[in-house]
Amino acid sequence: MTHGNKSIHLLLGKYPIADTSITPTPIHQLKRLSILLGYNIYIKREDLTGFTLGGNKNRKLYYLIGDAISKGFDTLITTGIHFNKILHACGSTATQVGLVLGNIVTNNNSTIIGIAISQNKKIQIERIHKLAQSTASMLDISDNKSSIKVDDKFLGSGYSIPSKEGINATKLFATYEGILLDSVYTAKATAGLIHYAQNKLFNKDDNILFIHTRGNSGLFC
């Protein structure tokens, strides 16, 4: 098939949607953290999608609700599931699948790094690969297991249990950028981001994009 930015819209255009979010969400540089950590760090604000407390889980509702409405249903029950480096929390496999397949469709060579927050690396990669295969088959595109990269060093004591590194990352983001994180997803993902930067695991001239997938409801518990 012909790859390119327009092909994403062509691939998805045949599926009905329901507009549930404010999109596109902004990308902006984290200027203070960029200076502190020594890299060009940007953030994708999926916490600003507008529905309830925001978050990228709203995006799947585009298609789930769109499909339900097109079939005449009126009730829906559902549960959640150019940068050089893109980091996100990969507790849900769907986010990373979308990023990896989007990379392939657009011929982008960005490295997608999923920071595991619920499963070890081996299990998470297999979950991502399985969903990527079925999604790629549905869209009639290729997938590549070797492009799936997961780091499970920031799990801490387990899913939903705050980690020391995550708490420190939350304080750092709030202090330097005024951005709130949650202990389950984004705090552990940013702990990974900070570790990579402090240990110079990025290339000097890399542009780093962190995807804030929300989860801020945990701040009120």
Residue 211 falls within a domain, yes or no?
yes
* pLDDT over threshold 90, residue 112: yes
Domain tally, the chain: 1
Q: Summarize the confidence of residues 122-133 as an average pLDDT.
A: 94
Cis ω for the linkage preceding 162 (within 30 of 0): no
pLDDT at residue 11 is higher than 50: yes
Residue type present at position 144: N
Residue 16 lies in a domain: no
Domain-embedded: residue 186: yes
> In the chain, what's the furthest Cα-to-Cα distance?
53
- Reported as a pLDDT band with limits 50, 70 and 90, residue 78 is low
Q: Per-residue pLDDT for 47 more than 80?
A: yes
Which residues face 85 on adjacent strands?
111, 208
pLDDT cut 90: percent of the chain above it: 51
Which range of residues forms the domain containing residue 175? 26-55+83-220
**Does the pLDDT of residue 6 top 80, yes or no?**
no
DSSP letter, residue 112? E
Distance CA(30)–CA(40), nearest Å, equals: 8
Is 90 contained in some domain? Answer: yes
At a CB cut-off of 8 Å and minimum separation 6, what does 64 contact? 76, 78
Model pLDDT for residues 49-73, shown as the tens digit of each residue: 876 665 666 777 777 888 888 999 8
- Flag whether pLDDT at 80 surpasses 60: no
What is the C-alpha to C-alpha distance for residues 170 and 101, in angstroms, rounded to an integer? 30
Looking at the chain, the whole-number percentage of residues with pLDDT higher than 70 is 88
Q: Is pLDDT at 3 greater than 50 in this prediction?
A: no
As a whole number of Å, the CA-based R_g of the chain is 17
Q: Mean pLDDT over all residues of the chain?
A: 86
Residue 23 binned pLDDT confidence (cut-offs 50, 70, 90): confident
CATH number of domain containing 113: 3.40.50.1100
pLDDT at 2: 42
Q: Within 10 Å of residue 153's Cβ, how many Cβ atoms?
A: 13
Q: What angle do CA 143, 127, 51 make, to 5 degrees?
A: 90
Provide mean pLDDT across the span 88-116. 88
pLDDT level of residue 109 (50, 70, 90 thresholds)? confident
- Does the structure show a pLDDT above 60 at 9? yes
Q: Which of 56-70, 109-123, 206-220 has the highest mean pLDDT?
A: 109-123
Mean pLDDT confidence for 194-206: 96
Question: Lowest-pLDDT range, 2-11, 37-46, 95-104, 119-128?
Answer: 2-11
Query: How far apart, in whole angstroms, are the C-alpha atoms of residue 166 and residue 100?
Result: 25
Structure confidence at residue 93 (pLDDT)? 86
